[in-house]
Amino acid sequence: MTASDTNTRHTTMARNAHSAAAKGAPSRADSDAETTSDASASAAAPDASTQPVTPTLRLPTIQDVWRAQDVVRPHVYHTPLLPSRTLGEMTGAHVYLKTENLQRAGSYKVRGATYKLSRLTPEERARGVIAASAGNHAQGVAIAAAALGVACTIVMPTTAPLAKITATEGYGARVILAGESYSDAYQRAREVQAEIGATYIHAFDDPDIIAGQGTVALEILSDLPDVEAIVTSIGGGGLISGIATVIKALKPDVRIYGVEASGAAKMRAALDAGHIVELERVDTIADGISPKACGPYTFAIVRDLVDDVITVDDDDIIRAMLLLMERCKLIVEGAGAAGVAALLAGKVPVQGLRTAVVLSGGNIDMNVVSRFIAHGLAIQGRYLVLRLLLPDRPGELLRLLSIIAEQNVNVLDVAHHRTAPRAPIQDVEVSLTLETRDRAHCEQLIALLRERGFNALEEQPVFNGASAPGNPC
């Protein structure tokens, strides 16, 4: 499909949406019946359905999002849309950050959960609710359930960050840990649902959830009416589906770009295949966007309304997280930083455009923040690890450190291994952790050390906090 065809389709959809609005929104009873039926159908199907999307789906509309906004407005924050001169200078775009990391419970998820639970019948509320989540959806559902006095059970993968598990329990939910991925947790949640009769609250593939998440787009339009592009991360696709539903109905010329972690690119895979596919495995630090598959609703909306879906690797995400901490003073989790990562990597064509980037969440596990920072500094050439063999005689370490000091390089750590198995008996192995300005500074230092007779090997940092021996730079 050409760009012209896409623009024509978007314009037609917008015209139809405005026509529907002029005729009046469907009655609440009709809308309730349709949405409840479709949500139940979605809940009954596995998350990783490989069946093609059928035309029987009743996708959410702009009217649904407006209704959702009326419901959720008293319960959520209208989060700031902050201009970023730093990101603008780095990317050539006029960048604005939609700070959903400052939202209640630290992510946008409370929006969809609040709207979904508000539409449950008294009988459904009495039976309680259950959900599967890697963390952010869990907290959103727990907050909404507590507000309504509804019993809440959340099944989370064992790999979920401790901070998210603890917060979910703190909001009053019963937490069950099961499996290593979201899909594993989902299967266990379905088993528990059958046992206790609770209503399942899907993390993303539900019209009410999508409508609730779409309120993010209404706030962006309120704060930046002349927005020209929106960039957001994709997990299961609920957020971008809600945003696209709003934007393509009201301002169809605005470009919408979705960003996935390359190790969990289920939407990109589905778009390439033409149907929903389940990834065999996911491998990313961005746990908030790591489902193995999207859903029928989110796939249909992204396929028809989103301009492009691109991927970024974990190093791109860590780089973005570090920049947001250091320059923007914002703590953002991996999933929340994916959009900024795409901008910094030059993967979205938004130069010169007024671009809103959604920081979808800020629930990062404090136990791994230092590892993210160290890894990000290493990527930028500001954190250098060297391994050297020195003759085992007085003065050699002092000579080495003197050369390093001449280059205005700060020594963070020195490890002296006299019994290292790789070292000849007459030598000693030394590992140095150094603070440098940039990559050029690293290469300058390594070249000088070799010139002075030191065979310096750079250790290639890896995310798990260890270091792997690398080739000489």
The interaxial angle of helices 215-223 and 62-72, nearest 10 deg, is 90
Is residue 182 within 8 A of residue 133, CB to CB? The reply is yes
Q: Are residues 291 and 326 both part of a single domain?
A: yes
Last residue of a domain, one of 348, 373, 398: 373
Distance CA 54, CA 258 (A): 23
Number of domains in the chain: 3
Question: What is the structure's pLDDT at 40?
Answer: 36
| pLDDT tens-digit readout, 55-104 | 589 999 999 999 999 999 999 999 999 999 999 999 999 999 999 999 99
Question: What is the structure's pLDDT at 39?
Answer: 37
Domain that holds residue 149: 110-200
Last residue of a domain, one of 373, 403, 418: 373
Q: Are residues 360 and 238 both part of a single domain?
A: yes
Question: What is the structure's pLDDT at 392?
Answer: 81
The answer to whether the predicted template modeling score (pTM) of the entire model surpasses 0.85 is no
DSSP state of 181: S
Q: What percent of the chain has pLDDT over 70?
A: 83
Q: Are residues 222 and 132 both part of a single domain?
A: no
Q: Are residues 192 and 295 both part of a single domain?
A: no
Q: Are residues 185 and 234 both part of a single domain?
A: no
Q: Are residues 293 and 249 both part of a single domain?
A: yes
- Edge-to-edge, what's the strand order for the sheet holding 308-312? 81-83, 94-99, 354-359, 229-233, 255-261, 308-312
- Distances, alpha carbon 429 to alpha carbons 34, 386, 393, 399, in Å: 70, 11, 12, 15
Distance CA 249, CA 218 (A): 11
| pLDDT tens-digit readout, 305-333 | 999 999 999 989 999 998 999 889 999 99
Distance CA 464, CA 64 (A): 44
Residue 12 predicted with pLDDT over 60: no
Report, as an integer, the average pLDDT of 364-385: 74
Distance CA 133, CA 163 (A): 14
Q: Are residues 213 and 170 both part of a single domain?
A: no
Q: Are residues 48 and 101 both part of a single domain?
A: yes
Q: Return the half-sphere exposure (C-beta side, CA atoms, 13 A cut-off) of residue 421.
A: 0
pLDDT confidence of 46, banded at 50, 70, 90? very low
Q: Are residues 465 and 319 both part of a single domain?
A: no
Question: What burial letters (b/e) apply to 361-388, b meaning 16+ CB within 10 Å?
Answer: bbbbbeebeebbbbbbbbbbebbbbbbb
Is residue 100 within 8 A of residue 129, CB to CB? The reply is no
Q: Are residues 356 and 232 both part of a single domain?
A: yes
Residue 379 predicted with pLDDT over 80: no
Residue 424 predicted with pLDDT over 90: no
- Token duo for residue 459: 């250790």
- Token duo for residue 408: 């205005």
Is residue 357 within 8 A of residue 97, CB to CB? The reply is yes
Last residue of a domain, one of 345, 373, 401: 373
- Token duo for residue 304: 């028809």
CATH code at 458?
Answer: 3.30.70.260
Is residue 312 within 8 A of residue 336, CB to CB? The reply is no
Report, as an integer, the average pLDDT of 220-244: 98
Q: Are residues 219 and 250 both part of a single domain?
A: yes
CATH code at 88?
Answer: 3.40.50.1100
Question: What is the structure's pLDDT at 460?
Answer: 62
Q: Are residues 274 and 349 both part of a single domain?
A: yes
Distance CA 135, CA 164 (A): 5
Distance CA 246, CA 212 (A): 11
